Structure 1
Amino acid sequence: MEIQKKARVLTAAATLIAAGVALSGCGNGGGESGGGGEFNPQGNVTMIVPFAAGGGSDIAGRSTAAGLEEVTGRTISVENIEGGSGAVGYSNFMGRQGDPNYLLATETSLVTLPLTQDVEYTYEDFTPIMKLGEDYTLIVAQADSELETCTDLTDQGSEGGAKVAIAGVGGLDDMTFSLMEEATGSTLDRVPFESGAELITALLGGEVDAISLNPGEVAGQLESGDLKALCAASEERYEYEMLADIPTAKEQGLDVALAQFRGFIAPGGISEEARDYWIEMGQQYAETEAYQTYIEDNMLQANTAFGDDFVSYLAENQKLVEPLLTE
């Protein structure tokens, strides 16, 4: 497997990363404390999404920002800072050290980027607040494609003719395709893009044979009949009605299942009061109708984690994905 080699296609992002840190401001005055050490944000809050608009991370960030607005009573704006498969946005966020008025919509790239790119952070440099849930992917192709199953795709890869698009090296889709390669000995040629929306455009335009996306990113195209699902890279079939008939990769003889987490983090170096405040707001958000709507509309698994439990999850997740990225 040559995932490390594939990571080099985005090494130019290193210069952008440095620029992102240099351009971003930092400060510790983003909140105010009341009596008894209570914290409240001072002014508006910004939710950074480290990917382009239109993909699963953007959907998660905007849904979370709207939900947190409901429970905090604060305006939470969303800012997309794309580039380097998420590295530019995360590095910009590093420049917000100590500022509790900034949040970031995070997912598996928080763990995978430090394993595949020369970035100056790990998840330990930030303050994990809430894991929203977990998100498996669907492998999809054009509706009129000759491919009918994921086995068809790997068979085509074994013949040297399969091209897939990925939203950044080291992401969930990239690792899912790597597991498919390991299981079959096939080769799936990667074409990197910056967001799920760009992957759909590339597939519909005939640039690639297949893509791997979270259900929420591709549900519209499945419903319209423009795309079809080859398999679900999940442990079991989805229970959601529109996905229930999609076989798992395992049912097709491919032992492939990998989940992506979604959540949000705060910068490192914030006060304990600010950390506790955002954890409490996350817990309140998880009890709202808005959270349930986000989970159901995007067909996620609603297994949350907060604060220290989220930190423990990240440590275990790193142990899980590291062998896929460093062998």
Structure 2
Amino acid sequence: MTNHTRAHGKAYLVALAGSALVLSACGNTNAGGGGGGGGEDGDFEPTGNVRMIVPFAAGGGSDIAGRATAAGFEDASGVTITVENIEGGSSAVGYSNFLGENGNPNVLLATETALIAVPITQDVEYTYEDFTPIMMLGQDFTLLVVKDDSPLQTCADLVEKAESERTVIGISGATGLDNLVFSLLENETGVELDRVPFESGAELLTALLGGQVEVISTNPGEVAGQIESGDVRPLCAASEERYDYDLLADVETAAEQGIEGIAVAQFRGVLAPGGITDAERDYWIGIGQEFEESEAYTSYIEDNMMQPNTAYGDDFTAVLAENDETVGSILEDQ
């Protein structure tokens, strides 16, 4: 099995020093009473089809996560789970739609850092506390990448260029992990970057390849094919350590290039609506635990070069609370 780069120490968005993740990273946890399939009284089973909402366009990391999770939960439960992309507003439209499903255990949502960032930066009617955390799948760091013909070779080159001339970067919405990485880079180095927002990671990559932007920050799973083909090239990894995956083993971290403080990971996970019963929550936690033990889960993590740090139920809620505090502090510095 391929080794994984593990988040630790001062990684911003999901600190392994936090008690919730320390517990969950050691194996499966029945967080807050979360357990096997039937819940407290064994009296819940989904009726009819289940929907998995992805609050971003098809093709990006969130879409990949949502479809992998839907397939894994479907195999574990025997229930048909269909994926529905509801994009717009840097995920706000999808989450707002999900808010309207309060009390409905037959709808799930593929979540990530926008769950925390959007309510901090936009006037929306929800926060993470309005939903029911089920499972954190793992963590996802980013790479800063350019087209292969770019004159930039490192992230230090990017900073040097931005110190003297306009430098255009692409971001997938104002609240995505990539924007947080670039904000930390600006805070650390004092440069200013010109942002062009897009609705998804797929659109972001298209813009880079088309020459609309010079640099993007993206999850490895979204760009691995283009790195293999030679169409794009990493400048550095915004991670604590180098990746152990063969494709990225030679990519230096930003810290190795003299840029500290931008190692940042986002969580990927699954939510149920607020207002569901304990039995309904526990059923889905049990399905998530079954998924974690499957080859499909291992393949998802390794194919997307992620870190398999899981958390369930109340442990996942604690991770979200830590993220809320940390992301808020990053965005306040913009």
Q: Structure 1-normalised TM-score? A: 0.89
- For 2:110, give the aligned amino acid: A
How do 1:181-220 residues align onto structure 2 when only pairs under 5 Å count?
181-220=186-225
How do 1:160-199 residues align onto structure 2 when only pairs under 5 Å count?
160-199=165-204
Partner of 2:28: none
Greater mean deviation of Cα atoms: 88-97 or 314-323:
314-323
Partner of 1:97: 102
> 1:156 offset after TM fit, Å?
1.4
Q: Is the 8 A contact 2:39 2:282 kept in 1?
A: no
Counterpart CA distance in 1 for 2:149 and 2:42 is: 61
Counterpart CA distance in 2 for 1:155 and 1:186 is: 9
Deviations along 1:228-277, one digit per CA (max 9) or x if unpaired, are 00000000000111111000000001112000100010000011110000
Partner of 1:326: 332
Counterpart CA distance in 2 for 1:81 and 1:167 is: 15
Partner of 1:70: 75
Partner of 1:130: 135
Partner of 2:281: 275
Counterpart of 2:270 (choices 264, 273, 276) is 264
Q: Secondary structure at the match of 1:254?
A: coil
Partner of 1:81: 86
Partner of 2:158: 153
CA RMSD of aligned residues (A): 1.2
How high is the sequence identity, in percent, across the aligned residues? 64
Q: Is the 8 A contact 1:151 1:254 kept in 2?
A: yes
Distance 1:34 1:182, change over 3 A: closer
Partner of 2:66: 61
Counterpart CA distance in 2 for 1:217 and 1:253 is: 26
Counterpart CA distance in 2 for 1:122 and 1:35 is: 27
Partner of 2:305: 299
> 1:37 offset after TM fit, Å?
4.8
Deviations along 1:36-69, one digit per CA (max 9) or x if unpaired, are 4521000000000000000000000000000001
Q: Is the 8 A contact 1:140 1:211 kept in 2?
A: yes
Counterpart CA distance in 1 for 2:48 and 2:175 is: 36
- For 2:322, give the aligned amino acid: E
Larger relative helix fraction: 1
Counterpart of 2:240 (choices 223, 235, 242) is 235
Q: Is the 8 A contact 2:139 2:266 kept in 1?
A: yes
Distance 1:100 1:245, change over 3 A: same
Q: Is the 8 A contact 1:149 1:230 kept in 2?
A: yes
Q: Is the 8 A contact 1:126 1:266 kept in 2?
A: yes
> 1:310 offset after TM fit, Å?
0.1
- For 1:282, give the aligned amino acid: G
Q: Secondary structure at the match of 2:57?
A: coil
Counterpart CA distance in 1 for 2:145 and 2:133 is: 32
Unpaired runs of 5+ residues, structure 2, are 1-37
Q: Structure 2-normalised TM-score? A: 0.87
Structure with the greater relative contact order (CA < 8 A, sep ≥ 6): 1 or 2?
Answer: 2
Q: Secondary structure at the match of 2:45?
A: strand
> 1:320 offset after TM fit, Å?
1.4
> 1:290 offset after TM fit, Å?
0.3
Q: Secondary structure at the match of 2:226?
A: helix
> 1:35 offset after TM fit, Å?
10
Q: Secondary structure at the match of 1:300?
A: coil
- For 1:261, give the aligned amino acid: F
> 1:112 offset after TM fit, Å?
0.7
Q: Is the 8 A contact 1:154 1:188 kept in 2?
A: no
Q: Is the 8 A contact 1:39 1:273 kept in 2?
A: yes
- For 1:307, give the aligned amino acid: G
